[in-house]
Amino acid sequence: MSPLLPEDTLRLYRSRRGRLAGGICRGLSLHLGVSVWLVRVTFLIFTFLGGLGAFAYAGFWIFVPLREVPDSERSPQRPPVRLFLLTLCALGLLVLFGLPMVRPTQLHTIIPLAAVALGLAVLWRQADDAQRAETPQPRTRVAHMVRIGLGAVVALGGLLALTTTRSGWAETGRVVIAALALLVGAALIGLPYFLRVLRDLAHERTERARSQERAEVAAMMHDSVLHTLTLIQRCQDDPAQVARLARAQERDLREWLYGERKTAAESFAEALRTAAAEVEDRHGVRLDVVTVGDSPLDPQLEACVAAAREAMVNAAKYAPEAAISVFAELAEDRVEVFVKDRGPGFDLDQVAPDRMGVRGSIVGRMHRHGGHAEIRTAPGEGTEVRLTAKRSAARAARPGAAEETQQTQQAEKSEKAER
Amino acid sequence: MTRPIRLVLVDDHKLFRTGVRAELDSAAGGALEIVGEAQDAPGAIAVITELKPDVVLLDVHLPGGGGLEVLRQCLFGGRKAPDTRFLALSVSDAAEDVIGVIRAGARGYVTKSISGVDLVDAVRRVAENDAVFSPKLAGFVLDAFSGAPGAAAPATSVDEELDRLTAREREVLRLIARGYAYKEIARELVISIKTVETHVSSVLRKLQLSNRYELSRWANDRSL
């Protein structure tokens, strides 16, 4: 099987059932979806035209395998329009080449005729495949054009050879014009039908896309929304749990509807949102994340996200009631993250420096990455943690970056050991 | 405030309208009067044209053309109610929606998760012809106006002014994005609340009038 042919091409078989001789006519009729008698008569006519039909029959008998033709390999019955067109073409060919052939057994008439037939067969097959294929791939489309071109060249070459061997160039011109006229006529007859096929195909395509989308939405609804609603009904006595479920589902849906579908690894903003989502899930609070600017993560930005996450956890612990605002701005030369809660706040001076949980995980982390952290709070004013760091534009691409990461990791390890 | 603000609610979910109505009634304490409701774009246009309310709470996603169609008919295009102010209210945080309704003439954009008190505050502010920016919207504006003003835009003086945020406006927007209320912003920057409102209104005007090409391109990029 040539790799160029699409998978779902119908294969031609000699039919085991309902055959008179080799099962070729029956097989062809099933393959093309036309009446078996039409095929038989065609073979008969061509047999009288210099034995061409007999030649073809023999060829088919040799090369086409005999078997029960499965339903999947049968064409649907062609509409009468096409039958009519086919007959017309056959008749046209007969009138053009068949009738003048008085001594057709000569090789120089049979070979061009065979060439014409071959070319037409290739063209026919292309048209057939194109109609059946749902969405031609670019690669097969190129192959497609090549094959159509080849078919046309072979057919035209055969036509020219046929006409020039028998007469002078003047005659050839006339015959070519006649052939062209025939082609134009056939095109005119076939055009509306062809257009309708195209329209049907386009319609079917949009229909398919639509149903696919519907299926995707349905799957999403089923997997997440319905599931969450069921869970909510089941734990209606626990408001905190209900709120958490609803919030998580809201986030998922938002992500699905408006999300940028970036992974946390390639986007600072996404990493921050992921961190916020985790804190929301774990502590049952609401975090509003706003980001300006974005960039792929590097060690410094990772540290920022980690520190910000720590600040979010603190806010969630001390101010679980009101919404927590997270704002991150990533500019060319600096990164800033603010985590603000509307909780009770506290007096910074009253807290012993060594007792502050934020020392190592927030302040220390930022320091190691060339930034600093700052906490603003007062009783009744809420708390805001501000993280800033200077950025050099070439930071991520700098060769020493990996080394630096290692140092950082070591520093963080030793920090853990200290605790 | 001498007379209550006349308000029209436009949302396609009856349940939501009922909820907002109850919340506004309890939080506003008589400062608001809900004079009408509508559940789709044509209905909203009819009600607004007839009642000429002070403020319309407008859902962005509506049957019959969406909030954009209502804005178009009532303000710039149709001018059926040119003096009515619109506050967009939506669950969507998509940049395209947010920037879209603001460009179409809404004076503010808040998400449906807003508390009743904040919503009353926002309605009052819009009624006084000020602008209301949610943290998200402030973030969007900062993002869209970041960097140098569009080099592709012809540099006439008007465009220059519209395409650039002043340092102060930028500061105000950043504080909004950080979750500060207007009062807190005023205290932080040591200016009056009125001045904060003026800055925000000025940003809104730039957002509506700037033909900075980044704005639409940016919103489209964000919409996916």
Per residue in A385-396, pLDDT tens? 889 988 865 444
**Which residue in B has a C-alpha nearest to residue A322's C-alpha?**
B115
* Per-domain boundaries in chain B: 5-129, 139-223
Q: Which of A292, A333, A341, A342 to mutate to test the interface with B (most CBs of B within 10 A)?
A: A292
Residues A288 and A409 in one domain: yes
Q: What is the least distance, in Å, from the CA of B134 to any CA of chain A? A: 10
Residues A181 and A78 in one domain: yes
**Which residue in A has a C-alpha nearest to residue B224's C-alpha?**
A260
pLDDT at B51 over 50: yes
Q: What is the least distance, in Å, from the CA of A355 to any CA of chain B? A: 27
A300 vs A370: CA distance, rounded Å: 8
Q: Which residues of B touch A (CB under 8 A)?
A: 92-94, 113, 135-136, 138-139, 142-143, 146, 174, 177-180, 222-224
Q: Which of A128-132, A257-261, A346-350 has the lowest mean pLDDT?
A: A128-132
Residues A270 and A193 in one domain: no
Q: What is the least distance, in Å, from the CA of B115 to any CA of chain A? A: 10
What sections of B90-212 are H helices per DSSP?
A: 95-103, 116-127, 135-144, 157-162, 167-177, 182-189, 193-209
Question: Which class for B78: exposed (0-12), middle (13-18), buried (19 or more C-beta within 10 A)?
Answer: middle
> Which residues does chain B have within 8 Å of residue A325's beta carbon, measured at their own beta carbons?
135, 177-179
- Determine whether the interchain pair A288/B179 forms a contact, defined as Cβ–Cβ distance below 8 Å: yes
Per residue in A359-373, pLDDT (tens digit) is 667 888 888 888 888
Q: Which of B60, B118, B174, B178 to mutate to test the interface with A (most CBs of A within 10 A)?
A: B178
- Chain B touched by A323 (CB under 8 Å): yes
> Which residues does chain B have within 8 Å of residue A329's beta carbon, measured at their own beta carbons?
142, 174, 177
Q: What torsion, rounded to 10 degrees, do the Cα atoms B120, B122, B125, B131 define?
A: -170
How many beta-carbon pairs below 8 A join chains A and B? 51
- Determine whether the interchain pair B135/A290 forms a contact, defined as Cβ–Cβ distance below 8 Å: yes
Q: Which two tokens stand for residue A73?
A: 């390999």
State pTM to two decimals: 0.57
Q: Which of A173-182, A269-278, B167-176 has the lowest mean pLDDT?
A: A173-182
Residues A51 and A198 in one domain: yes
- Determine whether the interchain pair A290/B138 forms a contact, defined as Cβ–Cβ distance below 8 Å: yes
> Of B94, B146, B179, which is closest to A325 when you measure between CB atoms?
B179
Q: What is the least distance, in Å, from the CA of A291 to any CA of chain B? A: 6
Q: What is the least distance, in Å, from the CA of B178 to any CA of chain A? A: 5
Per residue in A190-221, pLDDT (tens digit) is 777 788 888 888 888 888 888 888 888 887 77
* Three-state SS at B141: helix
**Residue A334, CA distances (Å) to A329, A337, A390 in order:** 8, 10, 4
**Which residue in A has a C-alpha nearest to residue B174's C-alpha?**
A327
pLDDT at B133 over 80: yes
- Determine whether the interchain pair B139/A340 forms a contact, defined as Cβ–Cβ distance below 8 Å: no
Per residue in A149-178, pLDDT (tens digit) is 776 777 777 666 666 665 566 666 777 777
pLDDT at A416 over 50: no
Residue A141 lies in a domain: yes
Main-chain phi, psi angles of A291, to 5 degrees: -125, 145
Predicted confidence band at A4 (pLDDT cuts at 50, 70, 90)? very low
User: What's the confidence (pLDDT) of residue A402?
Assistant: 42
Average pLDDT across chain B, whole number: 80
* Three-state SS at B151: coil
Residue A59 lies in a domain: yes
Per residue in A213-244, pLDDT (tens digit) is 888 888 777 777 888 888 888 887 888 888 88
Domain end residue (candidates: A194, A210, A226): A210
For A111, half-sphere exposure in the C-beta direction (CA atoms, 13 angstrom radius) is: 7
> Which residues does chain A have within 8 Å of residue B180's beta carbon, measured at their own beta carbons?
340
- Determine whether the interchain pair A290/B224 forms a contact, defined as Cβ–Cβ distance below 8 Å: no
Residue A311 lies in a domain: yes
Residue A410 lies in a domain: yes
> Of B135, B146, B174, which is closest to A293 when you measure between CB atoms?
B146
Residues A49 and A139 in one domain: yes
> Which residues does chain A have within 8 Å of residue B222's beta carbon, measured at their own beta carbons?
260
- Chain B touched by A327 (CB under 8 Å): yes
- Chain B touched by A295 (CB under 8 Å): no
> Which residues does chain B have within 8 Å of residue A292's beta carbon, measured at their own beta carbons?
139, 142-143, 146, 177
> Of A258, A291, A329, which is closest to B94 when you measure between CB atoms?
A258
Domain B5-129 CATH class label: alpha beta
- Element at B111 (helix H, strand E): strand B108-111
Domain tally for chain A? Answer: 2
pLDDT at A41 over 70: yes
pLDDT at B120 over 70: yes
> Of B136, B143, B178, which is closest to A338 when you measure between CB atoms?
B178
User: What's the confidence (pLDDT) of residue A341?
Assistant: 87
pLDDT at B23 over 80: yes
Residues A278 and A201 in one domain: no
Residue A241 lies in a domain: no
pLDDT greater at residue A392 or residue A352: A392
Q: Which two tokens stand for residue B210?
A: 């700037």
Q: What's A321's domain CATH number?
A: 3.30.565.10
Domains B5-129 and B139-223 share a fold: no
- Determine whether the interchain pair B92/A258 forms a contact, defined as Cβ–Cβ distance below 8 Å: yes
Q: What is the least distance, in Å, from the CA of B193 to any CA of chain A? A: 18
A228 vs A385: CA distance, rounded Å: 34
Domain span including residue A284: 264-418
Q: What is the least distance, in Å, from the CA of A39 to any CA of chain B? A: 55
A311 vs A116: CA distance, rounded Å: 80
- Domain B139-223: give its CATH architecture: Orthogonal Bundle (1.10)
| Percent residues over pLDDT 90 in chain B | 5
Three-class HEC string of chain A: CCCCCCCCCCCCCEECCCCCCCCHHHHHHHHHCCCHHHHHHHHHHHHHCCCHHHHHHHHHHHHCCEECCCHHHCCCCCCHHHHHHHHHHHHHHHHHHHCCCCCCCCHHHHHHHHHHHHHHHHHHHHHHHHHHCCCCCHHHHHHHHHHHHHHHHHHHHHHHHHHHHHCCHHHHHHHHHHHHHHHHHHHHHHHHHHHHHHHHHHHHHHHHHHHHHHHHHHHHHHHHHHHHHHHHHHCCCCHHHHHHHHHHHHHHHHHHHHCCCCCHHHCHHHHHHHHHHHHHHHHCCCEEEEEECCCCCCHHHHHHHHHHHHHHHHHHHHCCCCCEEEEEEECCCEEEEEEEECCCCCCHHHCCHHHCCHHHHHHHHHHHCCEEEEEEECCCCCEEEEEEEECCCCCCCCCCHHHHHHHHHHHHHHHHHHC
Domain end residue (candidates: A165, A183, A210): A210
Q: Which of A288, A291, A377, A381 to mutate to test the interface with B (most CBs of B within 10 A)?
A: A288
**Which residue in A has a C-alpha nearest to residue B181's C-alpha?**
A342
